[in-house]
Structure 1
């Protein structure tokens, strides 16, 4: 007897299916109801399981309005045949409930609030570091963003965060002392880059060069503006450090200012005692006497 798919005899949870479809189409219950020509309370009853005897025509209109395709699979016991299983991805926050025990909207992105800055309603969180007892109001268990532009941007950033690949660039076109890493999306789009070069410590201190003594100077870490604050810069630095460990190089140096200081400190760099002096040579650009040629 042929093996059976374990999901064949399990009834489809129509409410769960409809929530998945709504999330994929980014539609609220009201928006889906308007597209399908069905009352919004009907959608709510189906998703909550209170409309177990929903009409086939109603279900068909809702599924098609959400971009799905309703089909009946009669594979039966024919060997080798299995039902079609093309369900949309599950709603990731389906287990979360609000203070009243209700589910959060399926089409939104819902996340837990662990501290005030996780909550868009905490307008004071970015500027004040207040203890919990001094918060102007209590924070919710979870939250979401109603603005579709922000929501789409958030989903896009999460996709980028999971898809970015960091690799080292090497080849005949680069000198042997070059350390270059790039962060790319699957299609080859460049979203970040790290460049560094290797030098001998004796060039800074003078004296004889010691065999095997090497260090790297970090020239810069760049990340596309729309993809910042996703950890891409940190991943580039971590890739460099991993390669340095394999090469037996213990020291990496960098000069930076402003936001770059906090970034490198978070990556493990430490401020050193010697402080460079900023110098400038400015030559007049006028009709005065010019230096001899």
Structure 2
């Protein structure tokens, strides 16, 4: 939630370091710095002395912004609206030129944005399905979320897209032939992970040769709330960059569903159609099932 603090600043020095929510204490300190009594401040500001007294004693039922501004100005100060710590990193202000299909301005508190391609529109479910990119050509010019929960999730996803960093995680307790890349936020929260291991006949007998081994991809995991943000693709890009640096010529993976789409977009191709996913189940009596 965005917080707006009202700080009272004097022209004679730096801002007074006082709790922003304690208006009475702040006004009292400002009046003391200006060497004014309550009566003198009331005369300068045009605010009744009883109102000044109630504000300082905390008995005022919420003075108006105009009243506080007049008191601060009369005491030689000014009101400063301090932006939140994440200023410049939050959702952008809706441009005034964005209008809906009826020519109306989009609501200012919503994160309205232009729809330039299907993936920009939440209703374009086909945008991420291979082969359906041309489905449903009718797209709105502008889109925004009406549901607050959806807006909060969109802003959280935008924060993750902006702040997520990819790095290789090195653990002395893990063999150097095991590769692990993590996607994490500045506070250390893990949002994605990729694991792989080197494999070759030479490694099995303990005589690795440069260029003779390959990688086997164990898995690419991304937190469900942060999928379709490019985190998985960045993890695979970090893997391929490390492969080039370490002179590892190829990587293999067994995958299906969305994993297949991800790796295909990252440059992987189908190596063989002979592999099969197999399953074994015991019968009710605990005996292996017969083939016929």
- What TM-score, normalized by structure 1, do the two folds share? 0.59
Aligned length: 217
- Cα 1:179–1:124 shift into 2, 3 Å: closer
Q: Which has the larger radius of gyration?
A: 2
How far off its partner does 1:279 sit?
A: 4.4
* 1:253 equivalent in structure 2: 252
* 1:183 equivalent in structure 2: 183
* 1:28 equivalent in structure 2: none
* 1:60 equivalent in structure 2: 65
**Aligned partners of 1:254, 1:287: CA distance in 2, in Å?**
34
* 2:150 equivalent in structure 1: 150
How far off its partner does 1:275 sit?
A: 2.5
- Cα 1:109–1:172 shift into 2, 3 Å: same
**Aligned partners of 2:106, 2:280: CA distance in 1, in Å?**
62
* 2:112 equivalent in structure 1: 110
Q: Over aligned residues, Cα RMSD in angstroms?
A: 4.2
Secondary structure class of the residue paired with 2:82 = coil
| Counterpart contact for 2:94–2:110, Cα < 8 Å | no
* 1:243 equivalent in structure 2: 242
Secondary structure class of the residue paired with 1:171 = coil
How far off its partner does 1:234 sit?
A: 1.0
| Counterpart contact for 2:210–2:247, Cα < 8 Å | no
Secondary structure class of the residue paired with 1:241 = helix
| Counterpart contact for 1:196–1:216, Cα < 8 Å | yes
* 2:52 equivalent in structure 1: none
**Aligned partners of 1:269, 1:124: CA distance in 2, in Å?**
22
Gaps of 5+ in 2: 4-61, 288-292
- Cα 1:197–1:287 shift into 2, 3 Å: closer
- Cα 1:131–1:192 shift into 2, 3 Å: closer
The within-5 A match list for 1:95-106 is: 95-98=96-99, 103-106=105-108
Gaps of 5+ in 1: 1-22, 26-56, 65-69, 77-82, 289-293
Secondary structure class of the residue paired with 2:263 = helix
How far off its partner does 1:124 sit?
A: 8.6
| Counterpart contact for 2:126–2:135, Cα < 8 Å | no
Secondary structure class of the residue paired with 1:275 = coil
**Aligned partners of 2:264, 2:212: CA distance in 1, in Å?**
24
| Counterpart contact for 1:201–1:215, Cα < 8 Å | no
How far off its partner does 1:254 sit?
A: 0.7
| Counterpart contact for 2:145–2:151, Cα < 8 Å | yes
- Cα 1:174–1:124 shift into 2, 3 Å: closer
| Counterpart contact for 2:98–2:114, Cα < 8 Å | no
**Aligned partners of 1:152, 1:119: CA distance in 2, in Å?**
17
* 2:82 equivalent in structure 1: 86
The within-5 A match list for 1:226-237 is: 226-237=225-236
Secondary structure class of the residue paired with 2:262 = helix
The within-5 A match list for 1:259-274 is: 259-273=258-272
**Aligned partners of 1:150, 1:71: CA distance in 2, in Å?**
40
How far off its partner does 1:182 sit?
A: 1.1
**Aligned partners of 2:97, 2:152: CA distance in 1, in Å?**
21
The within-5 A match list for 1:1-293 is: 24=2, 60=65, 86-87=82-83, 89=87, 91-98=92-99, 103-116=105-118, 118-120=120-122, 129-130=134-135, 132=137, 135=138, 139-200=139-200, 211-273=210-272, 275-280=274-279, 286=285
Secondary structure class of the residue paired with 1:217 = strand
**Aligned partners of 2:64, 2:95: CA distance in 1, in Å?**
21
How far off its partner does 1:85 sit?
A: 7.2
